[in-house]
Amino acid sequence: MNISTGSMENFYPYLWNPEPYSKMDLPVPIGFDSGGKLVVYDLTQSPHLLIAGVPGFGKSNFLHVLIHSLLPKALVAVIDPKRLEFAYLKNHCALARNEVEGLAMVKSLNKEMERRIDVLEAAGVEKIQQYKGEMPFIVLVIDEVAEIEDEETIHYIDRIVRLARAVGISVVAATQRPSKKLKIFKDDTRDMFLARLCYQMADEISSRMVLGEQCPQAAYLPEVKGRGIFKAGLTIQEVQSMCLYLKDAKKMLKGTESVVSDFAEFCTVKRLPPR
């Protein structure tokens, strides 16, 4: 794979029309390739996506793009350890902004995963796409996943990554530290993230860690925000992700109906009764 030498466009505003991709379960606009063609990926294919890159090059921006493109089709749960960026989504996603909320969320999602496995088994089908009943896709988005230190939380995320594929639950995790120390990606859990989107990396080692031994290129990407390398299966290509500024993201949600309340409540710690 070659890195572009400046022929690629450096900026694309968020502009998303899912219509041509109606055959996909969860189409996500990854970015534009060197020919100016939009790369769209069906998240249910992998079904987990890892996003990496040094700070300031577009990980969180991409998560906003991903969430906005998924919202009409999936229930979205967000763990946001920084507690600021995703607050505006509180009426549209389930939100966890501290360790206690994060643990409650991943516990609930595990419960839902177990329930779904039983339902599919009883229906005699192997995956959600064959199931005829009501079962919306769920996407768990985790920004700065390396910030999560609680063992129990990590255990539940690990289970979801391993077991949730067939039942329509995907994990999208972003990190600036893909180092081997990162607990939830140790051993084979890490290999379950079959799709990777890697923005600017500090060095070849980090690039290889995310994209594979053959791929040091993320260390040599031009210093353009939103420029990354996308790898899914055998396909690997340079992309320029769309830019979605927060003020525009907020505007886009204004006036849209919130349908998330039951799901959000399910993912939240129940308030303790007063003593």
Ligand X SMILES: Nc1ncnc2c1ncn2[C@@H]1O[C@H](COP(=O)(O)OP(=O)(O)O)[C@@H](O)[C@H]1O
By CB under 5 A, name the binding residues for Mg ion. 59-60
User: Could you give the string, one character per residue 9-48, with x where binding to ligand X holds by CB under 6 A and - elsewhere?
Assistant: --x-------------------------------------
Per-state percent for the chain, helix, strand, coil, to nearest 5: 35, 20, 45
> Closest CB to ligand X belongs to which residue?
226
CA distances from 64 to 36, 40, 141 (A): 21, 16, 10
Tell me the angle at which helices 246-253 and 59-70 cross, rounded to the nearest 10 degrees.
10
User: Of 53 and 102, which has the nearer Cβ to ligand X?
Assistant: 53
Q: Segment contacting ligand X (CB under 6 A): 54-62, 75-83, 152-160, 190-198?
A: 54-62
Please tell me whether residue 225 binds ligand X under the rule CB under 6 A: yes
Least gap, CB of 59 to ligand X (angstroms): 3
The whole-angstrom separation of Cα 104 and Cα 153 is: 8
User: Of 140 and 174, which has the nearer Cβ to ligand X?
Assistant: 174
Strand, coil or helix: 38? strand
Please tell me whether residue 217 binds ligand X under the rule CB under 6 A: no
User: Of 46 and 60, which has the nearer Cβ to Mg ion?
Assistant: 60
Residue 36 contact among ligand X, Mg ion, none, beta carbon within 5 to 8 Å by kind? none
Residue 43 contact among Mg ion, ligand X, none, beta carbon within 5 to 8 Å by kind? none
Angle at Cα 165 formed by Cα 151 and Cα 181, nearest 5°? 35
**C-alpha dihedral over 113, 119, 124, 128, to 10 degrees?**
-50
| Residue reference for tokens 């502009």 | 15
- Applying the rule CB under 6 A, the residues between 235 and 264 that interact with ligand X are 241-243
Q: Segment contacting ligand X (CB under 6 A): 51-59, 75-83, 189-197, 230-238?
A: 51-59
Other Cβ atoms closer than 10 A to 117: 14
User: Of 164 and 242, which has the nearer Cβ to ligand X?
Assistant: 242
The whole-angstrom separation of Cα 86 and Cα 98 is: 13
Least gap, CB of 60 to Mg ion (angstroms): 3
Least gap, CB of 85 to ligand X (angstroms): 8
Amino acid at 203: D
Q: Which of 57, 86, 137, 185 binds ligand X (CB under 6 A)?
A: 57
123: part of which helix (H) or strand (E)?
helix 99-123
Residue numbers at the binding site for ligand X (CB under 6 A): 11, 53, 55-61, 225-226, 241-243
